[in-house]
Structure 1
Amino acid sequence: MSTVMIGVIGIIIVVALLMLRVPVALAMSVVGFVGYWIISGSNPALKLMGMVPFSTTANYTFTVIPLFILMGYFVFYGQLATNMFSAINVWFDRVRGGICYATIVGGAAFGAANGSGPASTATLARITIPEMERLGVSRRLAYGIVASAGPLAQMIPPSMLMIIYAILAEQSVSKLLIAGIVPGLIIAFGYIVTVYVILKRNPDLAPKMERQPLSTKIKELKGIWGITLLIGAIMAGLYLGFFTPTEAGAIGALLALLITVFSGKLSFEGFKLSIIESIKTSATVFFIVVSSFLFGYFLGISQIPRTVSNFLTGLDVHPIIIMFGICAMYIFLGMFIDMLSAMFLTIPIILPAVIELGYDPIWFGVIVVFLAEISLVTPPFGLSIFMIQGAVKGSDYAEILKGSIPFILTDFIILLIFLFFPQIILFLPSLM
Structure 2
Amino acid sequence: MIELILHLLPVVIMLFLLLVGVPVAISLGFAGSIGLLLFFGPDQLFGILLSTPRAETAAYTLSVLPMFILLAEFVSVSGLASDVFETGQRWLSHIPGGLAMATTLANGGFAVLAGSSLASAATMSRIAVPEMRKYGYNDQLSMGTVTASGTFAIMLPPSVALIIYGVWTETSIGNLFLAGIVPGILTLVGYLFLILFWVTIDPDASGEVRSYSWKDRMTSVKKIWPVGIIALFVLGGIYSGAITVVEAGAVGAASALLVALTHRTDRNSLYGALDETVTTTSMIFLVIIGAVIFTRYLAFTGITRQLIDGITSLPVGELGTTLIVLAVIIFLGTFMNQIAILILLLPVLYPLFVTNFGYSPIWLGIIMIKSGEIGLVTPPLGMNIYVATSVIDVDIKDAFRGAAPFIIIDLIILGILLAFPDITTILIN
TM-score, reference length from structure 2: 0.95
Is 2:281 the partner of 1:288?
no
Rounded Cα–Cα distance in structure 2 between residues aligned with 1:272 and 1:332 = 36
SS in 2 for 1:91: helix
1:375-421 per-position Cα deviation (integer Å, ceiling 9, x unaligned): 111122211111111111x2111111011111111111111011111
Amino acid at match of 2:292: F
After superposition, give the CA deviation of every residue in 1:30-66 in whole Å (9 maximum; x if it has no partner).
1112212322222222111111100111011111111
Gap change, CA 1:2 and 1:234, over 3 Å in 2:
farther
Equivalent residue for 1:400? Answer: 399
Query: d(CA) in 2 for partners of 1:7 and 1:255?
Result: 50
1:387 corresponding residue in structure 2: 387
Instruction: Provide the C-alpha distance between the structure 1 equivalents of 2:149 and 2:331, rounded to a whole number of angstroms.
Output: 21
More deviation in 199-208 or 142-151?
A: 199-208
Query: What is the SS of the residue equivalent to 1:75?
Result: helix
Quick one: distance in 2 between partners of 1:110 and 1:236? 19
1:352 aligned onto 2:348:
no
Distance 1:12 1:346 in 2: 15
Deviations 1:347-387 (A, max 9, x none): 21222111111211111111111111111111222111111
Per the alignment, residue 51 of structure 2 pairs with: 51
The amino acid of 2:324's aligned partner reads G
Question: What displacement does 1:144 show?
Answer: 0.6
C-alpha displacement at 1:4, in angstroms? 6.5
CA 1:335–1:219 in structure 2 vs 1: closer, same or farther (change >3 Å)? closer
Structure 2 CA distance, aligned partners of 1:100 and 1:52? 47
Counterpart of 1:329? Answer: 328
User: Aligned AA for 1:41?
Assistant: G
For 1:227, the equivalent position in structure 2 comes to 227
| Equivalent residues of 1:68, 1:253 under 8 A apart | yes
Using the TM superposition, give the Cα deviation of residue 336 of structure 1 relative to its aligned residue in structure 2, in angstroms. 4.8
**Residue 114 of structure 1: aligned partner:** 114
CA positional deviation for 1:117: 0.9
Q: Which moved more, 1:153-162 or 1:125-134?
A: 153-162
Give the superposition deviation at 1:209. 2.4
Which whole-Å CA distance do the structure 2 matches of 1:411 and 1:67 have between them? Answer: 30
3-state SS of paired residue (1:180): helix
Which SS does the other structure have where 1:113 is aligned? helix
Q: Distance in 1 between matches of 2:62 and 2:344?
A: 19
Give me the whole-angstrom Cα distance separating, in 2, the residues matched to 1:373 and 1:324: 16
Alignment partner of 1:297: what SS? helix
Contact 2:10 2:34 (C-alpha < 8 Å) held by counterparts: no
Change (3 A) 1:264 1:338: closer
Matched, 1:97 2:97: yes
Instruction: Tell whether the 8 Å contact from 1:110 to 1:120 is kept in structure 2 after alignment.
Output: yes
Q: How does 1:277-316 map to 2 (within 5 A)?
A: 277-315=276-314
Matches within 5 A, 1:254-293: 254-261=254-261, 263-293=262-292
1:206 correspondence with 2:206: yes
Q: Which residue does 1:63 correspond to in 2?
A: 63
Q: 3-state SS of the aligned residue for 2:102? A: helix
1:167 corresponding residue in structure 2: 167
Relative to structure 1, is the Cα distance of residues 183 and 79 closer, same or farther in structure 2, using a 3 angstrom cutoff? same
CA spacing shift, 1:367–1:4, aligned 2, 3 Å: farther
Instruction: Give secondary structure in 1 for the equivalent of 2:92.
Output: coil
Aligned residue type for 1:417: I
> Does the Cα contact within 8 Å between 1:169 and 1:348 map onto a contact in 2?
no
Give the superposition deviation at 1:170.
Answer: 2.9
SS state at 2:426 partner: helix
The whole-number CA distance in structure 2 between the counterparts of 1:6 and 1:254 is 51
AA in 1 matched with 2:85: F
CA distance in 1, matches of 2:372, 2:35: 28
- Does the 8 A contact of 1:73 with 1:274 survive in 2? yes
Contact 2:161 2:338 in 1 (8 A): no
1:193 maps onto 2:193 in alignment: yes
Deviates most, 320-329 or 66-75: 320-329
* Structure 1 position 311, deviation (Å): 3.0
* Structure 1 residue 229 displacement after superposition: 1.4
Moved more, 289-298 or 202-211: 202-211
Deviation string, structure 1 residues 11-47 (Cα, Å, up to 9, x no partner) = 2221111001111111111111221232222222211
| Shift of residue 93, structure 1, vs aligned partner | 3.5
How far 1:2 sits from its partner (Å)?
8.3
Other structure's SS at 2:149 match: helix
The range that moved more, 141-150 or 323-332, is: 323-332
C-alpha separation between the residues in 1 aligned to 2:247 and 2:315?
46
CA contact (8 A) 1:238 1:248 kept: yes
Contact 1:234-1:248 within 8 A present in 2 as well: yes
Aligned residue pairs, count: 428
The one-letter amino acid of 1:326's match is V
Q: Distance in 2 between matches of 1:266 and 1:91?
A: 26
Counterpart amino acid of 1:400?
A
What CA distance in whole angstroms lies between the structure 2 residues aligned with 1:109 and 1:8? 43
Secondary structure of the 2:283 match is: helix
Supply the distance in 2 between the matched residues of 1:303 and 1:170 (Cα, whole angstroms).
23
1:295, 1:166 → 2: CA distance? 20
Structure 1 residues 289 and 229: CA distance shift in structure 2, 3 A:
same
Distance 1:206 1:14 in 2: 45
Q: Which residue in 2 is equivalent to 1:370? A: 370
> Counterpart of 1:81 in structure 2: which amino acid?
A
One-letter amino acid of the counterpart of residue 138, structure 2: S
Aligned partners of 1:336, 1:68: CA distance in 2, in Å?
24
Task: Verify the 8 A CA contact 2:121 2:388 in the aligned structure 1.
Answer: yes
Structure 1 alignment gaps of length 5 or more: none
Judged with a 3 Å threshold, the aligned counterparts in structure 2 of structure 1 residues 177 and 98 are, in CA distance, closer, same or farther, namely same
Q: TM-score, normalized by length of structure 1?
A: 0.94
Read off the aligned partner of 1:210 and give its amino acid letter.
R
Matched, 1:244 2:265: no
Report what 2:158 is aligned to: 158
